[in-house]
Amino acid sequence: MQTKSTNPVFCAIDTPDTKRACALAESLSGAVGGLKIGLEYFNAHGQDGYQKLAAFDQPIFLDLKLHDIPNTVASAVRALAPLQPAWLNVHAGGGAAMMQAAAEAAHEAHDKGLRVPKMLGVTIMTSLADTDLHQMGISGTAQDQVLRLANLAQKNGMDGVVCSAHEIQVLRAELGPDFKLIVPGIRPQGSAAQDQKRVMTPEDAQKAGADILVIGRPITGAEDPRQAALDIAAQLTA
């Protein structure tokens, strides 16, 4: 069984309902390694809502996928710094200058006595397959595009990237052991893929070298979310 500090699972708390989000955070305490707060919850409840979940004292990945001109993204990072998330992300597709501006803004937190969030570049959403990319004029494979964006992220101040489990091995080989690989699109054996297209089981993703496994509906949609999280943790190695 995993302890809180070694459990690589961050549960995606995707709900606009504060009561439900807090109940999930409370019930998952010690059964996951952290919570992921994304667009659904944050857009409904903002920084006050964030603080309610932060009160459960779990590391938080603030998954807002910022994507705008460099100045605007840097200002957004500064505005979020007082929340002191462990992880914060921007779209790698925003380009080199945008990622650099975001990383510099994140480091300013240090001078204010705040925790510097680890910064992640989002590569290609795990809900997109090669055919979806072709529709957008990207002619290679999802893996080619993920590798290109991850290289750009590493060169421009990101601490890691969000990628699918299918890209872990190639990214690890290319980007080295210290670059963080955060992996959504995780589905325990027998769970429905739903809108995710590039999926893998938690065990296989961990074996491939993921640092963090982002898992939402297989936990939050279970009859007993805590038990679902504990079952997943039991399959993983510390």
Minimal distance, residue 45 CB to ligand C5P, in Å: 15
- Closest residue to ligand C5P in the complex (CB): 216
Q: Which is nearer to ligand C5P, 74 or 92 (CB)?
A: 92
Q: Which is nearer to ligand C5P, 24 or 71 (CB)?
A: 24
Q: Which is nearer to ligand C5P, 81 or 198 (CB)?
A: 198
Q: What is the dihedral sign for C-alpha 215, 221, 222, 225? A: positive
Instruction: Please count the other Cβ atoms lying within 10 Å of the Cβ belonging to residue 113.
Output: 6
Note the residues at the interface with ligand C5P (CB under 6 A): 12, 14, 38, 63, 122, 125-126, 162, 184-185, 196, 214-217
User: CA dist 46 to 37, 40, 82, 165, 216, Å?
Assistant: 10, 10, 13, 30, 20
Minimal distance, residue 111 CB to ligand C5P, in Å: 30
Minimal distance, residue 110 CB to ligand C5P, in Å: 27
- CA 175 to CA 33: how far, in whole Å? 24
Minimal distance, residue 141 CB to ligand C5P, in Å: 16
Q: Which is nearer to ligand C5P, 42 or 103 (CB)?
A: 42
CA nearest neighbour of 124 among 157, 161, 159, 156:
161
User: CA dist 150 to 7, 9, 115, 166, 205, Å?
Assistant: 24, 22, 24, 14, 18
Is residue 83 a contact partner of residue 54, using CB atoms and an 8 Å limit?
yes
In the structure encoding, which two tokens stand for residue 141, read together?
Answer: 């494979």
Concerning whether 180 is annotated as a catalytic residue, the answer is: no
| Active-site entry in 4, 65, 180, 207 | 65
- CA 80 to CA 109: how far, in whole Å? 10
Q: Which is nearer to ligand C5P, 156 or 197 (CB)?
A: 197
Minimal distance, residue 194 CB to ligand C5P, in Å: 6
Give the catalytic positions in this structure. Answer: 65
